[in-house]
Amino acid sequence: MTKLLIACALAVCLGNAGMFAQAEAPAADQPAAGQQGATSSSEDEFFGSADVEAKQGTAEKQNVADVVEKEHVGLSGQLQAQSTYTMTRNFVQGVTAASDNTFSNVIDGDFLVDIRLQKSFKAFLDLNLGFVPGGMPVMHTITPVGWPYLPPAPSLTYFENQDTALLIKEVFVDFNLANTVYFRTGKQVLKWGTGYFWNPTDLINIEHRSFTNLNALLDGVFGLRSDVVFSSNWHLYTFLNLNGVQDITSTAFAARSEFLVGSTEFAFSTWLKSGKLPVFGADLTTPLFWSLNLTSEASLSWGDNQDKLDTSGNPYSVRDQLVPKIDVGLSRTFDALDVQDRVSVNLEFFYNSDGYSQNMFDLLNQLGKLPTFLSGYFQSGYYGQYYGAAFVTINDFGSTNMTLSLNALANFSDMSAIALVGLSYAPVNNFTLSLQVGSYLGANYREFTISGNPTTGALTNNQFFGILGATVNF
């Protein structure tokens, strides 16, 4: 009996093998009608079944909550080496030798430590290490302690040449109450406002974006931030600024209420500090026709908290007048050569009503007070009254791992500008080579043509610059 069963099984297997051999034989030609019909019938029977999908629960990931809540420590960061060469106008015109030009090298690294605990608790650290061959001037301010006489002792300011700098850009802890009120305490960088380059409503961050390095990580400010979630469409953000505070009256407070209505996001904000003028703000983000995206923000105060210098070089305060500051931006992406969103364009305009309309660089230079102006009364990009900027990025430029950028920044008040062409190449993942070539446009002694050395007070009018860089992300 056993032998008979084995013989039958062999016969079936040989028969099936013959069927497969017959089915494969005419592969180069059209299959027979009977074979094609049999194949279609079997395919319809298999793919037409109502039980193709697995039953509910059989393919689900088990213990998802445990995986999400798993404690984790991550290390990432960025290392960047840059060499910058700047040519003065006198050198370009043949008046002086190359000794007037400046050549600088810097290696900058950000080491990011991300510690995630359960229940959305988190800690974060951004440790920045910079090395400048030849050194860089670093300002120190010393105030004597225990000064026995009146008035109080004046502060002493001096410069020291250092080649290595260690800085904690950010270090904070995140925690929450019932996943409804979220807190962040420590040194942090806040996203305040909607502008791409200018943020008139942002009176918190101490550092703004760099035109030549838009992706650089910024230095944070110490304080306590809260985020109250009323709904998915309504958040209330507050920030208690404790940066450098030694007296409770020096604390500043900011609040921002953010709403989402359809595809439009808008917010209202305020900034308050004892002894300072309150500042109120509003911002808006919304899509427009032709796939345009509009961003705008504005601040308003009765006077200005930033002191200024008059044409005689004397400080004064702006009071008893409205001081609006308005930023408007338009952005859009374009498809090109069968590549989606290959080209991105961002245009921005900034109106600073309290900016200087006169050429303060030329006036104060004649009075010998320009170093004072540069060290305490000048902030790049917020000096004049009317500004404009354009940022154009073309991905897959020539190859899939190359990007071209065309950027421009202009001060329309004194008619000076910076034009920049950048090319980046990523031969492998997480490694980028970049070359930027730019020019300072405008007459001498303008915002974007002049530079000053704070240690010596020496001034130069620049013409061209080039930046060669290599970046590693890990």
Residue 406: the pLDDT is: 98
Residue 144: the pLDDT is: 61
The closest alpha carbon to 256, from 204, 291, 301, belongs to 204
Q: Which two tokens stand for residue 387?
A: 């500004």
Residue 28: the pLDDT is: 40
| Separation of alpha carbons 174 and 176, rounded Å | 7
Cα atoms in the 13 Å half-sphere on the side-chain side of 371: 8
| Separation of alpha carbons 323 and 321, rounded Å | 6
Whether 264 and 233 have beta carbons less than 8 Å apart is answered as no
The closest alpha carbon to 308, from 355, 359, 371, belongs to 355
Q: What does R_g of the chain's alpha carbons equal in angstroms?
A: 32
The closest alpha carbon to 243, from 259, 219, 264, belongs to 219
Residue 222 pairs in a beta bridge with: 187
Helix or strand (DSSP H, E) at 16: helix 2-24
Q: Which two tokens stand for residue 466?
A: 């080039």
Residue 27: the pLDDT is: 42
What's at 309, amino acid-wise?
L
| Separation of alpha carbons 295 and 246, rounded Å | 37
Residue 143: the pLDDT is: 61
pLDDT of the chain, 474 residues: tens digit per residue: 434 334 434 343 434 444 333 334 444 444 444 444 444 444 444 344 445 444 555 445 555 555 556 899 999 999 999 999 999 999 999 999 998 899 999 999 999 999 999 888 999 999 999 999 877 777 666 766 555 555 555 666 666 778 899 999 999 999 999 889 999 999 999 999 999 999 999 999 999 999 999 999 999 999 999 999 999 999 999 999 999 888 888 899 999 999 999 999 999 999 999 999 999 999 999 999 999 999 999 999 999 999 999 999 999 999 999 999 999 999 999 999 989 999 999 999 999 999 999 999 999 989 989 888 988 899 999 999 999 999 999 999 988 999 999 999 999 999 999 999 999 999 999 999 999 999 999 999 999 999 876 556 678 899 999 999 999 999
| Separation of alpha carbons 429 and 379, rounded Å | 37
In which residue are the tokens 């020291």 written? Answer: 160
| Separation of alpha carbons 253 and 264, rounded Å | 27
| Separation of alpha carbons 330 and 256, rounded Å | 23
Residue 157: the pLDDT is: 66
**What's 75's DSSP letter?**
E
| Separation of alpha carbons 242 and 221, rounded Å | 8
Whether 247 and 273 have beta carbons less than 8 Å apart is answered as no
pTM: 0.81
Residue 9: the pLDDT is: 40
DSSP reduced 3-state for 139: strand
Q: Which two tokens stand for residue 366?
A: 């004649």
